[in-house]
């Protein structure tokens, strides 16, 4: 489990592409701490497993399903990514419950800077809109954010990014047309499941 509070910005330094999978190597100075091989790490919000580790680099296997369902397939050497290690039970839950199971890929459709914030408009896959709520939680490229505005007709949302978020994550690098990984609030998905199944 993750919190959506990005801990570091990493850089892809190598991509080994297989027929139906890939191995990515990331560099992130001072990020790995006491992590070990087999631990989970969120890369732009996608939960992956560390398979090789040095002091400042680590490798992950990326399976075909992850490549198909996330924006990780667009990454290449030199790309920057948001990183978060799995939460410890003793940590403060400062964001919201994030599983690292990406639900779909959104597209940035607007960027409007303000004096102390930046508004970002994101087109959301239509099947995910039902899980979103104004002032509710959403995870965008592994970053816990609040839905500021919601437009059901256009399948889009607006989020406002404060300077701290722009500084500590890759969201400040977004451009119109950028793809972003979207994870909806897991609580909404459980409620939907319960309502569908009832007391069967």
Whether residue 79 is found in the same domain as residue 40:
yes
The rounded radius of gyration (Å) of the Cα atoms in the chain is 17
Whether residue 111 is found in the same domain as residue 62:
no
Last residue of a domain, one of 50, 85, 120: 85
**Whole-angstrom distance, CA of residue 80 vs CA of residue 43:** 10
Look up tokens 């990005």; give the residue. 6
Domain for residue 93, yes or no? Answer: no
DSSP state of 98: B
Domain for residue 143, yes or no? Answer: yes
Counting as low any pLDDT under 50, the low residues of the chain are: none
The helix/strand/coil state of 139 is: strand
Domain for residue 136, yes or no? Answer: yes
**Whole-angstrom distance, CA of residue 82 vs CA of residue 5:** 9
pLDDT of residue 96: 84
Last residue of a domain, one of 85, 119, 151: 85
Domain for residue 119, yes or no? Answer: yes
Whether residue 108 is found in the same domain as residue 182:
yes
Give per-residue pLDDT as tens, 106-122: 999 999 998 888 999 99
The DSSP element (H or E) to which 186 belongs, if any, is helix 186-197
Q: How many domains is the chain built from?
A: 2
CATH number for 190: 2.40.30.20
Domain for residue 92, yes or no? Answer: no
Domain for residue 1, yes or no? Answer: no
| CA distance to 28, 34, 189, per residue, from 81 (Å) | 10, 20, 26
Mean of the per-residue pLDDT values of the chain: 93
**Domain range spanning residue 160?**
104-197
Give per-residue pLDDT as tens, 127-161: 999 999 999 999 999 999 999 999 999 999 999 99
At 86, list the tokens. Answer: 């799995």
Longest dimension (CA), the chain: 53
CB of 60 within 8 A of CB of 72? no
Last residue of a domain, one of 18, 50, 85: 85
**Whole-angstrom distance, CA of residue 92 vs CA of residue 6:** 13
**For the whole prediction, is pTM greater than 0.85?**
yes
pLDDT of residue 196: 85
Whether residue 188 is found in the same domain as residue 113:
yes
Domain for residue 36, yes or no? Answer: yes
Domain for residue 98, yes or no? Answer: no
Whether residue 62 is found in the same domain as residue 126:
no
Look up tokens 């290449």; give the residue. 76
Whether residue 183 is found in the same domain as residue 151:
yes
């Amino acid at each position: 489990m993750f919190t959506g509070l990005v801990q570091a910005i990493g850089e892809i330094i190598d991509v080994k592409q297989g027929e139906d999978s890939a191995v990515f190597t990331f560099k992130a100075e001072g990020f790995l701490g006491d992590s070990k091989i087999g631990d989970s790490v969120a890369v732009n919000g996608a939960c992956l497993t560390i398979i090789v580790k040095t002091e400042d680099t680590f490798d992950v296997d990326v399976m075909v399903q992850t490549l198909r369902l996330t924006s990780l397939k667009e990454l290449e050497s030199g790309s920057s990514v948001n990183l978060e290690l799995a939460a410890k039970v003793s940590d403060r839950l400062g964001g919201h419950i994030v599983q690292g199971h990406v639900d779909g890929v959104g597209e940035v459709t607007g960027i409007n800077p303000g004096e102390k914030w930046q508004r970002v408009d994101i087109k959301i896959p239509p099947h995910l809109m039902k899980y979103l709520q104004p002032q509710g939680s959403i995870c965008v490229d592994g970053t816990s954010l609040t839905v500021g505005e919601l437009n059901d007709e256009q399948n889009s949302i607006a989020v406002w990014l404060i300077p701290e978020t722009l500084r500590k994550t890759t969201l400040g690098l977004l451009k119109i047309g950028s793809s972003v990984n979207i994870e909806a609030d897991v609580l909404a998905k459980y409620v939907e499941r319960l309502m569908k199944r009832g007391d069967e």
